[in-house]
Structure 1
């Protein structure tokens, strides 16, 4: 069991070109990679050093037409019960609980406003915790919600998440930091601007040098849609789109 149950424990990219995405993120984030799975399903483990942090796979047939996207897995003691909890809480179940041999049991769900995430009860023990901002790991989780107060109530009710400090973003409203357990905030929620069509989760990958990582994203045919900009605490962030169209973000120091 994780030290902080109900936290994000894995991240996955569903994309239209696995080979191109693998090369892109290895260059930009500094990951190395390792193939996993059998011949009937290609799956790439992306690793920070020797630690697996994310996976990549081709968009499955049942999701054909879906834009390439990153999705996060939230730990559940019992995936079946947690999935039913999401359903009863007003969310949608996009894929009923199923088993991945030697990995665990998972489901695909969406919160009541439509932001997609996954639930998983993994087999085996969790690895040792890593210090915040360790390069190659995920440093922040951001929910752009239709209405953040209602979204927070859902996640708090489902997973016991708690509020940290609220940040006044002026005309953009409140950016509410949250904790999934432990002593530090791990993400934020805000009400999305009207021009953003649908709610989504955005994941920030830690990098050593934000400017060099941003340059690598551009050199490898990614797009930068915001930043780099400094955020409270001194880090710098940059929001990007990979060459296949998946949204992601970077966080790191400016050197």
Structure 2
């Protein structure tokens, strides 16, 4: 894929119940979810698509996996092997070494020095991934924000800056909780890094675009999900809603309030 290094190029839900998760996200985000003709051999891998193309995948967690159901991010890199080697030199742990997915690309699965999980990937397609889109022009159903909660904000900024070239610029003060610091790939703001909240969890959280935050809130509850925080207004006039799906995977929604 031709996206600049550090761009989120794919999203993946690891879940305890694929069928239930598929039904939930189809109702909530209007995705079309199907098994691709060319998927990982021997794996029930389902691809979720918004109206203009694929956004991410849904797969069942391996038995005995030491993590809860989660949304994970694939960051695009120019060379997976070289980037994985660099990540380990910066203190990352390798959970899956670089390997190929036939006709798709090459990837590895890592934990940063604070234990937060993520993927590195180089896709075979010559076209840009559009799984992540700028929030101001995003089509509903696409990921528009990537938020890292970490016990070591300075360490995370240094790690992802060195590894992926993520540039930190600007911040939103949260009082005694610290600063919410924005991350860029080139001139595109892709998300932010924040200190882990007292009693909260560390890790990456993905936010998906919706056309109307209140209508999405209603669909969330009807489909069996849970609103954990919000809707909350953010700079620019949109609203965010932090959620959990019926299997417990956390994610966020972003959209205007039309009522």
User: What count of residue pairs does the alignment treat as equivalent?
Assistant: 252
User: What's the CA shift string for 1:66-120, capped at 9, x where partnerless?
Assistant: 2110000001111111111110001111111111111011110011001100011
TM-score (norm 1): 0.94
Measured against aligned partners, the alpha-carbon deviations of 1:159-199 in whole angstroms (never above 9, x if no partner) come to 11111211111122100001022x231101111112124x2
3-state SS, counterpart of residue 202 of structure 1: strand
Residue 52, structure 1, aligned to residue 57, structure 2: no
1:39 CA drift (Å): 7.6
Distance 2:127 2:234 in 1: 30
1:241 aligned residue: 244
Distance 1:38 1:162, change over 3 A: closer
Equivalent position of 2:35 in the other structure: 35
Structure 1 residue runs of 5 or longer lacking an equivalent are none
Partner of 1:111: 112
Q: CA deviation at 1:126?
A: 2.5
Residues 128 and 69 of structure 1, relative CA distance in 2, 3 Å threshold: closer
Q: Is the 8 A contact 1:79 1:105 kept in 2?
A: yes
Distance, in Å, in 1 between the alignment partners of 2:237 and 2:143 is 17
Partner of 2:97: 96
SS of the equivalent of 1:118 reads: strand
State the TM-score, normalizing by the size of structure 2.
0.93
Is 1:66 the equivalent of 2:67? yes
Deviation at 1:6, TM superposition (A): 1.8
Q: Secondary structure at the match of 1:245?
A: coil
Tell me the SS of whatever aligns to 1:254: coil
Gaps of 5+ in 2: none
* Counterpart position of 1:163: 168
Match of residue 196 from structure 1: 200
Aligned Cα root-mean-square deviation (Å): 1.6
1:90 & 1:127 partners in 2: Cα distance?
Answer: 30
How far apart, in 2, do the equivalents of 1:95 and 1:126 lie? 26
Q: CA deviation at 1:46?
A: 0.3
Equivalent residue number for residue 20 of structure 2: 20
In 2, Cα distance between equivalents of 1:146 and 1:251: 25
Tell whether the 8 Å contact from 2:9 to 2:129 is kept in structure 1 after alignment.
no
